[in-house]
Structure 1
Amino acid sequence: MFRILAADIGGTHSRMGFFELHSDGMSSNVSAGADGLRLLDVARLRTHESLSFVALLERLFSTPQPFAPAQCDLAVLAVAGPVRGDICTPPNIGWNVDLRDIAQVGFTRGALINDFTAQAFACRSSAVVDAQVLQPGRDHELIRGGTVAVIGAGTGLGHCALTPDGLGGYVPVPSEAGHAAFPFVGEEEYAYAEHVRRTAHLPYCHGDAIVTGGGLSRLHAYLTGESLTPPEVAERLPQSPRTAEWFARFYGRAARNYALAVMALGGVYLAGGVAAKNPLLVEHPAFLEEFRSSPSHSELLCGLPVLLNRNQDSGVHGAALYAAQHLLRQG
C-alpha cells in the first residue's frame, strides 16, 4: 500500500487530498474504475492566507491529518502555473513553488505538475462520473482511445490535453494557452477588445483577461456599467442576458479552438469554478453554437463529446491518479 498527498494549489483555493493506493494484484493500468485509490480526506485552504509555499504546507499539518509527511510515499503538487523542472511561478499567486522545499516539512519524495495536468488526469478517474453532458459524442470507441482536451475558466484560463500512452496509462500535454492572444470577431467585439486592452494595460487581450472570473466582471461592467465582483455578477446573470450570451460565446470559442488544436477526439471537458458555479454560462445556446461554428470542421465539432465537470475536488483526484501511474511503474 502507498500513501499519496495530492495537492491542487490554485490562485484562490488549495485542496489537499490524502489517498491510499492499494496495488495488490494490479498491473500498470491505472485507468478509471481500476485505479486502486481510496480517498481518506480532503483539506481545503485559502491560498492567499499563506505567505509562502512552505507556510501553506505548515498550515495544512498544523491540524491532525490522515498521515504525516514522513509517512507519505509521494506528494504530487498540482499548481496553477507553468512548471519548469522543480519550480513553478504561478501568475495568480504571490509566491513561487519549489519542489525541494517539501523536505522542510518532512516529505521525502514529490512531483510538481501544472494544475490542469491534474484536471486532465481527473477526466480518466471517478471524479467525472457525474459530469454533465452538454453534447454527447458519436463514436464511443474513438472517445476512449482519443486525446482529451480540458479547459477551465477560474482565476485563470487553464488548458491541458491527455493522450493514451499505449501502455494503459496517459501522457499529459500541459499548456499555457490562456496567455495566448484571444480571438475576437466583429466590430462590437473589436470595440470590447480595445476597451480591455486599454483599461487593463495589456499589449494584447489573452484568455486570462476574457474567459475567467475577472473577465466575467470586466465584461459585465462594459455591457451594463455595473462594477461587480464575479459572485455578484453570477447572482445577476438571469437578469443580465447580454453578459451571459457574450461570455458563453467567448467560452465556446476558447473551447472550440483548443479542441481543434489538439484534435480532441476523446472529448472536451470544462473544468474550473466559473462554469461549475454558474452552469448557465455553458448551458446557454451561444456556447455550443460557437463551439460548433467552423468553416471547415463543423461536422467534426458536432460529434465531439463536451462535458461539464462540476466536481470542485477533481484536481486532487487527478493528481492522485498521476501519482498512482508513477508509483506503479517506478515503485
Structure 2
Amino acid sequence: MAAAAKILAADIGGTNARFAEVQISGLSQMQVSPPVVFPTWSESIDSFDQLLRHYESAKPPGTSPIADYDALAIAIAGGVSGQRATLPNIAWDIDLTVSKPVKNVFLLNDFYAQAHAYLDPDVFDRMHLVRSGPGAGPGAIAVVGAGTGLGHAALKPHKGERIVIGSESGHASFSFHGKAERQIEASLLARKGKTWISADDVVSGSGAALIHESLTGELASPAAVLAEKHRNSPTCAHYSRFYARACRNYCLAMFPVEALVISGGIAAKNPHLIESEPFIGEFNDGRSYRHLLEKIPIYLNRDEALGMKGAAIHAWLQLTDSSTG
C-alpha cells in the first residue's frame, strides 16, 4: 500500500485562489479540507510570496503552517515551464527559483493539474452527463473549460495506463465563420486593440461580455448576459457555438476521444450553454468526422475542488515514485 501524504494544494485562477489541505493515500483515497478562498490579486496581493502570506493569515486556526507539509502543489492559470509560470490573466508571475517555501513544490498548469483528477476511476460517477455516447476507445479524455480564461488538457492511453498532456490551446487563434461572426471579430479586435483574436479572448467571461456588446451595444457583466433567463438570446447562442467550436477543435486534435469533460465556472453556473442546440449542433459539425463526434459522451464537472485534488494526486504520485524509485 502506498504511503499517505499531507499536501497543501492550491488552485490559483485568474479571479480567485483556493487552498486546501489534502490527506492522500491513493487515487480514490483522499480527504480534502474546506477550501480557503480569496481574490488572487489585489492591492495587498501583487506577488506569489504575498499570496502565500495572505493564505497563512487567512487559514483556519490549527491548520499546519506551509513548511510542515510533505509538498505544496500549485495549479496555476497560465503557462508553466520548469519552475516558472507565466500568468496571462494575473498581474504577476511565479518563479520558484526565487520563491520556494517548502522542499517539495510542484508547479502545474491548472488544467494539467485538474486532468490528474480523472485518474481517479470513480470521478465520472460524480459528474453530470450532458450527452451519452460510446466514445472511441481506447482514446483520450479531453478536458476543456472556460472561466476567466479557456483551459485545455487531456489524458491519453499509454501501455494500459493514462498519461496527462498539458496544452495552451486557448491562446491559439480562433476562427470566425460568416458575416455575423466576422462582425463580432471586428468588434473584438477594435475593443482589445489586437491584430488577431485567440480562443481565450472569445470563450471566457470577458469574451461573453464583449460578444454581447458587439451584438447589442450594451455593457453588461458575463453573469448577466449568460444567465438562464437569456438562454434563447443571440448572445447565448453565439457563445454556445463558440464554446462548442473550441471543444470540437480540441477533440479532433486529441482524437480518438473516449469522453469530453467540460469544466470551469461558466458552464458549471450556466449548464444551458452546453446543453443547447447551438452547442451540440456546432460540436457535431465536423464534416466527414461528424459521425465520430456524435458518439463522444459529454460530461460537466461542477466540482470546484477538482483542480486541487488533481494537483494533490500529481504531487502524491511524484512523492511515491521518488520514495520507491
Q: TM-score, normalized by length of structure 1?
A: 0.89
Distance 2:89 2:225 in 1: 21
Structure-2 residue corresponding to 1:182: 174
Structure-1 residue corresponding to 2:104: 109
Distance 1:280 1:134 in 2: 10
* One of 2, 7, 20 as aligned partner of 1:4: 7
Q: Is the 8 A contact 1:9 1:78 kept in 2?
A: yes
Q: Is the 8 A contact 1:40 1:66 kept in 2?
A: no
Structure-1 residue corresponding to 2:320: 328
Give SS of 1:275's match. Answer: helix
Measure how far apart 1:22 and its partner are: 2.8
Structure-2 residue corresponding to 1:123: 118
Distance 1:2 1:212 in 2: 35
State the Cα deviation string for residues 284-328 of structure 1 (Å, max 9, x = none): 111011111111111110111111111122111111111222122
Distance 1:65 1:17 in 2: 13
Measure how far apart 1:266 and its partner are: 2.6
Structure-1 residue corresponding to 2:134: 138
Distance 2:240 2:104 in 1: 42
Structure-2 residue corresponding to 1:75: 72
Structure-1 residue corresponding to 2:247: 255
Instruction: Please say if 1:172 is aligned against 2:175.
Output: no
Pair 1:101–1:264, CA change in 2 (3 A)? farther
- RMSD across aligned positions (CA): 1.9
Q: Is the 8 A contact 1:17 1:317 kept in 2?
A: no
Q: Is the 8 A contact 1:159 1:176 kept in 2?
A: yes
Distance 2:188 2:182 in 1: 10
Measure how far apart 1:235 and its partner are: 3.8
Structure-2 residue corresponding to 1:14: 17
**Ranges in structure 1 where 5+ consecutive residues have no aligned partner:** 24-29
**Ranges in structure 2 where 5+ consecutive residues have no aligned partner:** none
State the Cα deviation string for residues 142-171 of structure 1 (Å, max 9, x = none): 65x421111111111111112244364x42
Distance 1:300 1:12 in 2: 36
Structure-1 residue corresponding to 2:201: 209
Residue type of the partner of 1:55? Answer: Q
State the Cα deviation string for residues 191-223 of structure 1 (Å, max 9, x = none): 211221122111111111111000110111111
* One of 86, 92, 96 as aligned partner of 2:93: 96
Residue type of the partner of 1:97? Answer: I
Give SS of 2:260's match. Answer: strand
Give SS of 2:7's match. Answer: strand
Q: Is the 8 A contact 1:252 1:288 kept in 2?
A: yes
Structure-2 residue corresponding to 1:308: 300
* One of 151, 154, 166 as aligned partner of 2:147: 154
Measure how far apart 1:65 and its partner are: 5.5
Measure how far apart 1:176 and its partner are: 1.0
Distance 2:256 2:279 in 1: 17
Distance 2:177 2:164 in 1: 31
Structure-2 residue corresponding to 1:200: 192
Give SS of 2:34's match. Answer: strand
